[in-house]
């Protein structure tokens, strides 16, 4: 990178004018990569947009569009009358680092089951019947929005194939074209910086959690998790006999300092930085760097569950921990259950290179990859641009449904339930009066076919302010007032008045 007196030029930004990717997007992606890998350090001043227009041979509006997107995500900072600089928070993140010490993979086995079975039963979420329900379940997606005709056409493209690749057991890593499509998608949408060889297909995110618990921790090992935190991931670790330690949540996400003050170093840490599950907090960039630094120094692993990252309605989408971590101590887990449909059962893990083979072995112990036919259809759905189109449409749809739910809650349930706008995800937190037992209330509502989740279910040892997780994605905008009125009637029947 050449530094000029007027600011740094971008001579190593290479533009492919025959590509379908717009020029401003190509510039954005390459500058972001230079910042993440330290080629553009914090505080570095870039040349003016007019200078870069001549240097790169593009229009000034192309440079401006790229810079605006980078500024919105915190990679660049614009100073009025002074120019554009790399954000200061990147200044100290790329100092020389010692060669990482790789955590040794677990080699011991455990055969105990009955005590774990009892514990798993006590933590398992309640079941519900979607055919006889007013569902506010947070994980329910808007299946009415999925482009089934497009899916049917893509399914027909592969449905008559008789080759062994399609009808056999399939690649234990997952369908290679799908792994390539996912790597391209994540590199573009999340700047994750991974190859297809680092992607392993799973039967949903839960299989990835189970495989990682089997692979990376032994019975009795300590695992750190957010508290309140992800129930399904907690069950995976409990099933493997682990001791789960809770990390409190503040406005910046999982509070590392608070956890480290009371727990000894955990071998494995599970966090949801994009949208903390269930509270919805987005982890700050500074906190992300703290977690990465701590994992590297303590020779620990981080599982990053990127749940609902695509369903962001406002605010910047922060870089992934995987993309920020240069020492490869982060495992990135994602799924298509929330942005396509849950029964597809296609998830993925993006792994450090030395974990790919061991993880494949663990996945095969738990169960094979999803149907190769469905993987092939999903590949085309991504590559043909349908996924991007569907995500954009879903964001608009879910935002409108969230607005309708909040309006109905204000009109019909205030002040008994108080909820605020969320920036991402598929549920709002409905805060209850302090004297309410949210777990009992959720059970009473379920008895009357009103299904939601209690926030208390997500805490390791109870406590916390009572609230309900109220999902909005699965109910049509125009029907939400009626759905809330059903909840009102159920609450009155239980004996609550306000």
Q: Are residues 120 and 75 in the same domain?
A: no
What is the CATH number for 70? 1.10.10.10
Q: Are residues 313 and 432 in the same domain?
A: no
pLDDT higher at 132 or 194: 194
For residue 469, being part of any structural domain is answered with yes
Last residue of a domain, one of 385, 410, 426: 385
Instruction: Say what the pLDDT of residue 72 is.
Output: 84
**Which region among 117-131, 169-183, 272-286 has the lowest average model confidence (pLDDT)?**
117-131
For residue 101, being part of any structural domain is answered with no
Instruction: Say what the pLDDT of residue 3 is.
Output: 42
Instruction: Say what the pLDDT of residue 113 is.
Output: 42
Q: Are residues 211 and 70 in the same domain?
A: no
Instruction: Say what the pLDDT of residue 437 is.
Output: 96
Q: Are residues 166 and 263 in the same domain?
A: yes
Q: Are residues 360 and 246 in the same domain?
A: yes
CB 468 within 8 A of CB 430: yes
Number of domains in the chain: 3
Q: Are residues 401 and 254 in the same domain?
A: no
For residue 336, being part of any structural domain is answered with yes
Residue owning tokens 């699965």: 474
In a 3-state reduction of DSSP, which class is residue 134?
strand
CB 473 within 8 A of CB 439: no
Rounded to whole angstroms, the Cα distance separating 373 from 262 reads: 48
220 Cβ contact list (under 8 Å, min separation 6): 241, 242, 243
Last residue of a domain, one of 385, 401, 416: 385
pTM exceeds 0.85, yes or no: no
Closest C-alpha among 462, 488, 475, 471 to residue 429: 471
Last residue of a domain, one of 349, 364, 385: 385
493 Cβ contact list (under 8 Å, min separation 6): 448
For residue 65, cis peptide bond before it (omega within 30 degrees of 0)? no
For residue 380, being part of any structural domain is answered with yes
Rounded to whole angstroms, the Cα distance separating 82 from 6 reads: 11
210 Cβ contact list (under 8 Å, min separation 6): 236, 239, 366
- Mean pLDDT on 174-200: 95
Decide if pLDDT at 449 tops 60: yes
What's the distance, Cα to Cα, between the start and end of the chain in Å?
65
Instruction: Say what the pLDDT of residue 13 is.
Output: 87
Residue 17 neighbours by CB distance under 10 Å? 8
For residue 104, being part of any structural domain is answered with no
Q: Which domain holds residue 481?
A: 134-139+388-494
Q: Are residues 204 and 316 in the same domain?
A: yes
pLDDT digits (tens, 9 = 90+) for 317-338: 899 999 999 899 999 999 999 9
For residue 278, cis peptide bond before it (omega within 30 degrees of 0)? yes
pLDDT grade for 93, boundaries at 50, 70 and 90 = low
Strands 83-86, 45-46: pairing is antiparallel
Strands 243-247, 222-226: pairing is parallel
Q: Are residues 63 and 172 in the same domain?
A: no
CB 288 within 8 A of CB 273: yes
What is the CATH number for 326? 3.40.640.10
Q: Are residues 482 and 470 in the same domain?
A: yes
**Which region among 95-99, 139-143, 264-268 has the lowest average model confidence (pLDDT)?**
95-99
Beta bridge partners, 245, equal 224
What is the CATH number for 408? 3.90.1150.10
For residue 107, being part of any structural domain is answered with no
Closest C-alpha among 19, 340, 35 to residue 193: 35
Q: Are residues 163 and 65 in the same domain?
A: no
List the alpha helices (DSSP H) in 367-495.
372-383, 386-412, 438-447, 480-494
Q: Are residues 202 and 272 in the same domain?
A: yes
- Mean pLDDT on 340-351: 94
**Which region among 79-83, 136-140, 211-215 has the lowest average model confidence (pLDDT)?**
79-83
Residue owning tokens 């910047």: 316
CB 430 within 8 A of CB 417: yes
pLDDT grade for 111, boundaries at 50, 70 and 90 = very low
Q: Are residues 283 and 371 in the same domain?
A: yes
pLDDT grade for 1, boundaries at 50, 70 and 90 = very low
For residue 278, being part of any structural domain is answered with yes
Decide if pLDDT at 346 tops 90: yes
For residue 316, being part of any structural domain is answered with yes
DSSP 45: E
């Amino acid at each position: 990178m050449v530094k000029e007196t007027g600011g740094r030029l971008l001579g190593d930004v290479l533009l492919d004018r025959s590509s379908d990717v717009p020029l401003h997007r190509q510039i954005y992606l390459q500058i972001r990569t230079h910042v993440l890998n330290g080629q553009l350090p914090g505080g570095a001043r870039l040349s003016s947009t007019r200078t870069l227009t001549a240097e790169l041979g593009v229009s000034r509006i192309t440079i401006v569009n790229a810079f605006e997107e980078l500024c919105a995500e915190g990679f660049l900072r614009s100073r009025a009358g002074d120019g554009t600089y790399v954000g200061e928070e990147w200044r100290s993140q790329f100092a020389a680092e010692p060669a990482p010490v790789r955590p040794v993979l677990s080699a011991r086995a455990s055969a105990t089951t009955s005590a774990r079975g009892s514990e798993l039963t006590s933590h398992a979420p309640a079941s519900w019947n979607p055919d006889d329900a007013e569902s506010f379940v947070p994980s329910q997606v808007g299946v009415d929005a999925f482009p089934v005709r497009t899916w049917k056409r893509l399914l027909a493209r592969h449905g008559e194939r008789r080759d062994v690749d399609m009808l056999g057991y399939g690649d234990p890593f997952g369908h290679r074209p799908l792994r390539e499509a996912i790597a391209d998608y994540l590199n573009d949408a999340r700047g994750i910086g991974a190859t297809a060889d680092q992607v392993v297909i799973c039967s949903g995110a839960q299989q990835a959690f189970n495989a990682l618990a089997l692979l990376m921790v032994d019975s009795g090992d300590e695992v750190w998790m957010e508290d309140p935190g992800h129930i399904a991931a907690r069950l995976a670790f409990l099933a493997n006999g682990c001791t789960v330690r809770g990390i409190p949540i503040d406005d910046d996400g999982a509070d590392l300092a608070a956890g480290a003050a009371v727990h000894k170093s955990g071998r494995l840490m599970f966090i949801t930085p994009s949208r903390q599950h269930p509270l919805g907090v987005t982890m700050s960039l500074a906190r992300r760097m703290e977690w990465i630094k701590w994992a590297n120094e303590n020779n620990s692993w981080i599982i990053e569950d990127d749940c609902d990252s695509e369903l962001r309605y406002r605010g910047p989408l922060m870089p992934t921990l995987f993309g920020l971590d240069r020492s490869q101590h982060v495992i990135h887990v994602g799924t298509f259950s929330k942005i396509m449909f849950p029964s597809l059962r296609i998830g993925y893990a993006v792994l450090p290179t030395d974990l790919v083979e061991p993880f494949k072995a663990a996945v095969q112990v738990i169960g094979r990859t999803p149907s190769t036919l469905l993987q092939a259809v999903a590949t085309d759905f991504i590559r043909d641009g349908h996924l991007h189109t569907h995500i954009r449409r879903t964001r608009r749809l879910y935002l409108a449904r969230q607005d309708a739910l909040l309006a109905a809650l204000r009109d019909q349930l205030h002040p008994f339930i108080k909820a605020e706008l969320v920036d991402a995800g598929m549920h709002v937190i409905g805060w209850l009066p302090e004297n309410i037992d949210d777990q009992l209330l959720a059970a009473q509502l379920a008895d009357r076919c009103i299904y939601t989740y209690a926030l208390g279910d997500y805490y390791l040892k109870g406590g916390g302010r009572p609230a309900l997780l109220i999902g909005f994605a699965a109910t049509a905008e125009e029907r939400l007032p009626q759905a809330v009125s059903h909840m009102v009637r159920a609450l009155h029947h239980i004996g609550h008045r306000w």
